[in-house]
Amino acid sequence: MTTRTTHAHGINWIAAGEGAALLFIHGAGGNAAAWFEQMDAFAGTHRTLAYDLAGFGRSAHPPPDAYAEHFSRNAVSVMNAAGIDKATLVCQSLGGWSGVRLALEHPERVERLVLSCTMAGVAHPPALQSFQASLAKMDERGPASIAISESFRAANPAKAYLYEQLTAFNPALDPQLVQRAFSPEVLIPPERLREVTCPVLILTGELDPIWPPATLEGLTDLLPNTELMVFPHCGHSPYFEQPDAFNQALREFIAD
């Protein structure tokens, strides 16, 4: 796999492979490098891209008052820079904020949408309540501190250490940006999900401490073309904890 790293309007992104495009968008505990097992699995058959969200990895830090504008704008910038007209978006946690906004604002650019362990920036009361309850479990790293399950950590200490090092590549999480992401003026009204017409796959971990499966089930009722899949014995990061199962679910979804 040959990977190319470049920038688009202050956003760091990587790309590999040729074919139909897959754009991976990480969560608050990651950056573009976190998708290494997906890049390796799909670069042989697809044009695979991943980027650092604004304020993460090597991407520029956005001003809090313009934070919401970056969710879809940066995804579009990366796609344009890569010469990609349309892609399947694979969004983990905070990445869902970008995926849903892009599907609403630029539906012609989104082939399919995968939402993994995320409330996707939607003002969905059960998910909001669950996130607030999970704050007490987090340390100064925010969601990254509880993003992988304790059972995975015990069984895979080396890989858990790798996750911590990938997270350490990020600047300190800015509390203002977190507050902004969950503010009423940024969150999307749930009824707007009916405007998302592309196929949607919602993935979640059985043991996710931030958004357990029950807190996301209501979102499937609002999306016209969606399915829900739960990874057993898995926490908030199935792409990292169970990459083979995650990649297989993605393969089946894009093959439909």
* Every domain of the chain and the residues it spans: 4-255
When pLDDT is averaged across residues 111-131 and rounded to a whole number, the result is 97
Amino acid (one-letter) located at 203: L
Tens digits of per-residue pLDDT, 173-193? 877 778 888 999 899 999 999
When pLDDT is averaged across residues 116-123 and rounded to a whole number, the result is 97
Length of the chain: 256
Residue 75's Cβ-count burial label (10 Å; 0-12, 13-18, 19+) is: buried
The average confidence (pLDDT) of the chain is 92
Q: Could you tell me the pLDDT band of residue 38, with boundaries at 50, 70 and 90?
A: very high
Distance CA 140, CA 131 (A): 15
Please tell me the least confidently modeled range out of 80-94, 137-151, 196-210, 240-254.
137-151
CB atoms within 10 A of CB 239: 27
CATH architecture group of domain 4-255: 3-Layer(aba) Sandwich (3.40)
When pLDDT is averaged across residues 4-26 and rounded to a whole number, the result is 88
CA 101-107-108 angle, 5° bins? 140
Tens digits of per-residue pLDDT, 64-74? 677 777 888 99
